[in-house]
Amino acid sequence: MSTGLVAVTVGIGRYAADRWRHRKDAVTGRWLAPGVALTAAGGGLVLSPDVLVLTDQLHVADPAAALALGVYNVLAMGGLGTVAAGMWLSSRTVTRRVRAGVDAVADGIPLVARRRAVRRGTPADFPREWASLIALDTELTHRLLRYERDLEAAVNFPVMTDHTDPLTRGAIDAMLRCRELRAATPPAGTRDVRDTDYARAVADFQVALEAAEANAERLVASTFTEDERRTLEEVTTTLEFMRANSTTPAERAAAYDEVSARLSQVMRARGVATEGTAAEAAGATAGAGATAGAGATAMGQGVVARPHPFLDVTDRARR
């Protein structure tokens, strides 16, 4: 019996030490087996008096001895049951589920979720599954490479194909960093995929790409004057209203005259002739001039520079 108690004690200690030593390993069963086996063997020795009684090798005739054996059995079974429950509750399967539940509750509290997100370096609503993380990385990669593969996207946002631009270069570097860290499965011992280097790299990639695209849109908008932008918004609103609502021919004719007058005013303000000629587009850089010159189209007596090699604005709008 005393040997059994010693074996149980040593087995528990071995199990606890191995569980802590290999807590980050993907598979811990083979490391924990010796502690579990030693504890089970000790438990068998602790219960050996019952075995002896059942095999008639130990006779308990005295009522006091029988009572003592009963109390001993209750204590032994209770102790061994507690040890077994403790080992099960500390197993990887149980602790992983408990940790996932705690994380879910914490993520449901906005203040706690924000603090955890800052600590991790990833957004609070970031994917929690490795496959979803890879899917987000793939989506971001396709978004970035679309500017290289899609002529229309490259024409609309030329800075996205300019690898010397700091923001575009930052997005490309972030994509390559994700490609370097991407793996089919999470690293061994990963508790939360949002805590991995790959998750942080994907988060950085998302931020870098959004910054590059915002910069590209800003550069496109910067080619319009404030009056030109306001006029285009008003004209677009008017035309969309007539398309979606009932109007009379007279109302439409008056609106067309007003729209034409507004556009003519903008063209005059930019110094563009409206009768038979069109001046070269403003804001073209020297580097873009060669590309525009190759795709230039004669209109009347002038030449209109355009970024697309063979489509003008009207053709591109109709695609």
Which residues, in sequence order, are bridge partners of residue 299?
A: 302
Please report whether residue 228 resides in a domain: yes
> What's residue 9's pLDDT?
79
Q: What is the pLDDT of residues 83-122, one digit of tens each?
A: 778 776 776 666 666 666 666 666 566 665 567 666 666 7
18 and 77 together in one domain: yes
- Sign for the pseudo-dihedral over CA of 163, 164, 170, 174: positive
| Contact yes or no for 273/257 (Cβ under 8 A) | no
Please report whether residue 173 resides in a domain: yes
CA gap 39, 36 in Å, rounded: 5
Structural domains counted in the chain: 4
197 and 242 together in one domain: no
Please report whether residue 200 resides in a domain: yes
208 and 240 together in one domain: no
239 and 186 together in one domain: no
**Predicted model pTM:** 0.53
- Sign for the pseudo-dihedral over CA of 151, 152, 153, 157: positive
Q: Residue 318's domain spans which residues?
A: 280-319
Which residues, in sequence order, are bridge partners of residue 302?
A: 299
239 and 253 together in one domain: yes
> What's residue 269's pLDDT?
77
20 and 63 together in one domain: yes
pLDDT reading at 300 higher than 80: no
Mean pLDDT, rounded, of the chain = 74
Q: Kindly state the helix (H) or strand (E) to which residue 303 belongs, with its residue range.
A: strand 302-304
Residue ending a domain, among 181, 203, 221, is 221
